[in-house]
Structure formats: C-alpha cells, structure tokens
Amino acid sequence: MALIAPSMLAADFLHLEKDVMLVNEHADLFHLDVMDGNFVPNISYGFPIVEAIAKKAVKPLDAHLMIVHPEKYVDRFAKAGVNMLSFHLNAADNPGEVLAQIRAAGMKPGLAINPDIPVEALFPYLDQCHYVVLMSVFAGFGGQKFIETTYERLTALKKEITRQGADCMIQVDGGVSAANAARLKDCGADILVAGSAVFKSDDPASVIAAMR
C-alpha cells in the first residue's frame, strides 16, 4: 500500500476549503510545494496558504521545500503546523544538520533529489531520513510529464534502503497518475504525490481511488 499525497499546487485557490476537505476525506497527506524563485525558477506560495490549510487539515501536512537556505525556515514551518518537511540535497551546505534540525523541531525529515542527481547521493543520509523524495520531473512546476527512468532509480534506491535496513520511506513526486501508480508501488514507492492528475480531473475522488 502507498500513501496518496495530493499536491495542493494544483488545487483551486478560490475554493481551497473544498480541496482541503477532499484530501481529508479521500487521501492520506497534504503535499505542499514551496518555491522561492531562486532554487527553482518558479514561485508558488508560502506561510499564509500553509497556515490556512493547517487550520482545516485533519491529515498530516507534508511540505516540500524548493528553496535555498531551508535551515532558515524550519522553525516557521513547524509553527505553521507542518508534520513532514523535505528539502533538496543540493540546497543545503550540511544536509545532515538540517535533517537533525527538522527532527529537533518535532517534524519528520525528508531529503529530495532532482532526476539528474544520482540516487547514490542519498545513500549516506538514509538512516537520518523519515523519507526521501525522488523527483520524477524537475522540481519547479506542476503538470510536467513523468520521466520514465524513475523506475530504475526507484528500484536502486529501494534496494539500498533494504540493504541498510533503514526506516526510510520513498516518496515519488511529479507526473504521477493512476496510469503509473501501480508500477511505482511495485518498484518500492511508499508515498505517491499527485497534483494535476487529482485536481485537474472532474472526479478527484475516483482518481485517488484508482491510484490506490
């Protein structure tokens, strides 16, 4: 079984409460994409939206930081009600310290990599991560096409987690839909993030059901 984490980047911001209720009822986690226009070319949203979602969320909040200097904002995200916090490996000078900082702030730490970073780069940190985020598109925009080499990367990552006996989940993020969910699960994915596939559909609940 994999957890389903709809990405709120694709939600209807004029009717955010409706989409929050949908996740509460049908999914497992809220995936919150925070972009700074610096680590990635795009800017998404920040604390006001995260705090608004936190007020109505009954499912845990999983924030995915695509920002430089993630260490500066760890405490703010904890205060905002975030439960799981990930940042990109190459956004931090000392990833191990930031993972420890996130844990000390009471959240579950995650480490993310883009598709052009070898999965081996994550291996030294697996025992310090609650989860790793394997990007299946380049971070920065919703609605991109799933990159097929993700399956091999996922298989290699899963193998190493098992070899190390690490208690670390794998989240796959980008271009995930009912069409590739089963294969991703077979290759070892524990959390599936889906934005467009869920919220751009006429029937988001049935897409989530199909992904399960």
Indicate which residues carry an active-site annotation: 33, 173
Closer of 104 and 168 to Zn ion (Cβ): 168
The 16-35 contact track toward ligand DX5, x by CB under 6 A, reads ---------------x-x--
Select the binding partner of residue 23 from Zn ion, ligand DX5, none (C-beta < 5 to 8 A, by kind).
none
Chain-centre distance for alpha carbon 83: 12
Q: Is 36 an interacting residue with respect to Zn ion (CB under 5 A)?
A: no
Torsion of CA 138, 184, 192, 7, to 10 degrees: 40
Q: Is 175 an interacting residue with respect to ligand DX5 (CB under 6 A)?
A: yes
Q: Is 33 an interacting residue with respect to Zn ion (CB under 5 A)?
A: yes
What whole-number distance in Å separates Cα of residue 188 and Cα of residue 170? 7
* Residue with smallest beta-carbon separation from ligand DX5: 195
Segment contacting ligand DX5 by CB under 6 A, of 19-27, 50-58, 147-155, 170-178: 170-178
Closer of 104 and 212 to ligand DX5 (Cβ): 212
CB 83 within 8 A of CB 57: no
What whole-number distance in Å separates Cα of residue 153 and Cα of residue 104? 30
Radius of gyration of the chain (CA): 16
* Interface residue with ligand DX5, options 196, 204, 207, 211 (CB under 6 A): 196
What are the structure tokens assigned to 110, written together? 């995650």
Q: Is 142 an interacting residue with respect to ligand DX5 (CB under 6 A)?
A: yes
Segment contacting Zn ion by CB under 5 A, of 30-38, 148-156, 175-183, 197-205: 30-38
140: left (phi over 0), alpha (psi -120 to 50) or beta: left
Tell me how many residues contact ligand DX5 (CB under 6 A): 22
SS3 27: coil
Q: Is 195 an interacting residue with respect to ligand DX5 (CB under 6 A)?
A: yes
C-alpha to C-alpha distances, 58 to 21, 24, 163, 165, 171, nearest whole angstrom: 9, 6, 35, 31, 20
Residue entry with tokens 């409460």: 17
Q: Which residues bind Zn ion (CB under 5 A)?
A: 33, 64, 173
Q: Which residues bind ligand DX5 (CB under 6 A)?
A: 7, 9-10, 31, 33, 64, 137, 139-144, 173-176, 193-197
